[in-house]
Amino acid sequence: MTEQTTTCQAATGRTATTARPRFLCYGDSNTWGYIPGGGRLPQECLYAFHAARLVPELELVAEGLNGRSSVWESTVFPAELQGGATFAAVFRAHLPLQGLVLMLGTNDVMAPLNLPGERIADNLARMVHCARALCPGLVTVLVSPPPIAPLGVSELARDGWGETALLGQNLAEAFASCADKEAILFWDGSSALGHMDGPDGYHMTAAGHAALGKGLGAFLAKAVVPNMQLS
């Protein structure tokens, strides 16, 4: 980890070392912990916290923003929520880093973006390239979010927030293909949580966060920790 740590520290002018490799979890309201109807789950309820409990060797930093998408440029989506365009600045703010967990896509399948999985995966690949340029050797994990629940799909489509076929996508296949092309790690969030379990169908309850976090933590413990140089 010497090369990547040195590079990331040099980028910020910071020389302090971290006892544990730091992984940035970059996502949307489901990383932030949004509660449908308003409010935010406590930090200890978020999936990143639950994952961190299973991998004490790593430090996981939750970086979520309500409404964040994967797009880099759009005339129909707020600039501050274009997760591709804002990625580099947010990433730099958290340096030094040794790892990145990317989980986006739920907002992309809704109107006004209406993106298929392949387009979302392309946007995430650009983030991977950006992160690698800032931190060569960065460990990157691409996570496909649990799909929107059937109730959420039907209500969103009814209210003009998208097309049923796009809203109901499981992004796992497109993300897995992207991860293979980029030679990064992939984990299917729907393997731990079949679909979003919040009352609106596109957010997670505390129980959903726990299930997703435990699944992600188990994956990191198996696929990441054994290959890290830990101090």
CA distances from 48 to 16, 24, 55, 60 (A): 24, 10, 11, 6
Q: Are 170 and 147 in contact (CB under 8 A)?
A: yes
CA dist., res. 145 & res. 90, Å (int): 21
Q: Are 130 and 91 in contact (CB under 8 A)?
A: yes
CATH topology of domain 2-10+20-225: Rossmann fold (3.40.50)
* pLDDT of the chain, 231 residues: tens digit per residue: 333 333 354 344 333 444 799 999 999 999 999 999 999 999 999 999 999 999 999 999 999 999 999 999 999 999 999 999 999 999 999 999 999 999 999 999 999 999 999 999 999 999 999 999 999 999 999 999 999 999 999 999 999 999 999 999 999 999 999 999 999 999 999 999 999 999 999 999 999 999 999 999 999 999 999 988 765
Q: Are 18 and 59 in contact (CB under 8 A)?
A: yes
With 0-12 CB in 10 A as exposed, 13-18 as middle and 19+ as buried, what is 176? middle
Give me the residue label for tokens 């309820």: 45
Q: Sign of torsion, CA 110 25 180 81?
A: positive
**The tokens of 1 are what?**
């980890």
Tell me the domain boundaries of the chain: 2-10+20-225
